[in-house]
Structure 1
Amino acid sequence: MPVTKYFLSILFLFCCLQAPAYAAKSVWLIDVKGGIGPATADHMVRGLEQAQQEDAAFVVLLIDTPGGLDSAMRQMIKAVLAARIPVIGYVSPSGARAASAGTYLLYATHIAAMAPATNLGAATPVQIGAPELPSVPQQKDSGAAGDQPKSVGSTAMERKIINDAVAYIQGLANLRKRNSEWATSAVREGVSVPAAEALSLGVVDIVAADTTSLLRKLDGRIIKLGEAELTLSTSDVDIYHHPIDWRSDFLSVITDPNVAYLLILIGVYGLIFEVSNPGFGIPGIVGVVCICVALYAFQVLPVSYAGLALMLLGIILMTAEAFAPSFGVLGLGGIAAFSIGSIILMDTELPAYQIAMPLIVAFTAFSAVLLVFTLGLLVRARKQSVVTGMAHLVGSSAEVELLHGEETLVRLDGELWQVRCEQPLAIHDHVTVTAVEGIALVVTKKRRDG
């Protein structure tokens, strides 16, 4: 018994000594690549949470972004500020940038680093105000939307947005003891700086050529984590590159505005087809699934619900035209509502989060062609003669097929009909229907040629 207690005590002490050694030898690398949106934020936030659960020594964010959505950026920054382990921001590789939203994220990290030939800045916020018709797209990248603003703060709304952004980045700069004056100019004037100048201005803390060089320069650095101070030890660490999983890939696909736009339209048209042809099943199921996925995407995207309502109104009007023809009035109104709603659907001026105009034109043209085709069928149907009841038999020709006592029968439309005629009839005589009396046909005998 004493031997067992002794053995358990040694095992417990060994586990306690081993835990800090594991924590000190794990460094997580998490990519922040491309436009910052819901998928990027989800990948980074979940990766940071997993790193903390695994007791990683610290996390390095590999940043290369032109900017993105304000809501996604703030979600990422909140996760960084609430982290229980150090978070290092590293703009890499050479040629990368941390523009617009990336600048705010870099300022939020405990240590900011850049690779040579990288840059950061251009942090003027893109206005996300009331929905309006977007201007003609400019030939510039999404992250450089605020590189050289024509008139910063020219309206009350713009001044409010810019002042809020200035206060936000100044708070991050003061928290991390970085250059707040340059941060203010990056927001108000949209300035950018390369890595070497950023280091001299006190905007970043380290310039490193690669991850190995970065870890070497981080060794011995003291970081203030909450009320405590932590000394980084990177002499012998294991590097774990956190991969992008299927959830982030799926979220990246469905939160593309063009994909979400296609999903909502496929869903609506699928439901319309199911209602007009009940019992088939598959269009209705596919429609419901597409609509649910699209609504989830719209929940995390900056969507103008006025634009979404106009799109749905347009589809309803065009559908109503097919079921209750109004000689094009409902259809034209539906096309106009659908087009305007599609254009103003995304409530942001970021080009990366706009629906492609060719896609809008294609779907509008498809709906218009479908409407014209439906109207053409309806017009032709109205011009056709009546083919229901027995009235359509008048004028038809038939041949006497059977004589049964006093009854004379002819075959017409695949059925035998009793006929009455003032002239005597014989089998194979040809007759013409002149009237319908009850269930009998009044006919006249045709004269035989020759």
Structure 2
Amino acid sequence: YVKNRAWSAGALIAIACEKIAFTESGSMGAAEPRPMEEKNVSALRAEFSATAERRRRNPQIAEAMVDQSVEIKGLKPRGKLLTLTASQAKKYGYADFIANTYDELWRAINVKEPKVVNEYLNWSERFSQITSDPTYSFLFLMGGLLLLFVELQIPGFGIPGILGITLIVLTFVGNYLAGLAGIEAILLLIGGIILLLIELHTPGFGIPGITGIVALFISLYMVLGGGINAIRSIILASILVVGIIILFIRYLPESFVWKRLALKEATRTDAGYTVVNVQQDLVGKEGISVTLLRPVGIVEIENRRYDCLTEGEYIPPGTRVIVTKVIGNKIFVRKIS
């Protein structure tokens, strides 16, 4: 019963039915596949044609809903997709009845006291409907990548990283619930995240980080359906993320909001400003790194822990270090060779 639209897969479902009823505002067709590759068009065109023949309907009309190259004189020119209105569907044998209400439909098919069962989407179906939508998937992907980039620029692991991973996971889970992604894509995602977490606690950037990034991109490729469209979405999301970061760095310092939040003048000691807890007496003292310094971390000096920085090098936990200088409340250390 085509109450409003039977487009795309809906058209194939309708054609497969023994009887088709339309409301006067109903329409059917527009079933061109995405991505629109010759292989997909050919396969779907044959599917529509065979289904129409089985129900003794004109197969050429069904093919014209899928393939723009099909021409039907008086109905569809070459280069356009076919979408039938209710009156056209009735004329060409793709509608058996025109019924604007259920009562009219029951009378048309001669059914008395019908039992009508209404089906509604549950929470998981609604969730997957939203998160598996290509537009939302793309936005979640772009937002997740942007937040992960922000997380990599700050010490530790905090809210940007959690939100970034959450958005990417939402993309995967939604497509998995919708049946568009398999368990292998989820496993690649988990493996990629684990490898990146290992990389965060390893000096430098090596095999875990590279392998983790590759695993994430492969899993994204799979969950977005593969093919050129998936590659295009990933590349476009990456370009947009980089563009937003560049705009953020370029224009944020000059924005009204930033000027309201940031100090307009430097707080120099000669202007009367002082820094709390200046630890100049720590210069030259030795200690042990408690966490990875990348370049920020925790160092234990004389049984007391301090937040310290290196001058660019990565220092693993358990390494002997020496305090080289103290600027304000920033304590700089280097590895003792």
TM-score, structure 1 normalization: 0.38
Bigger relative contact order, structure 1 or 2 (CA pairs below 8 A, ≥6 apart): 1
Compare the two structures and name the one with the higher strand fraction: 1
TM-score, structure 2 normalization: 0.49
Between structure 1 and structure 2, the one with the greater Rg is 1
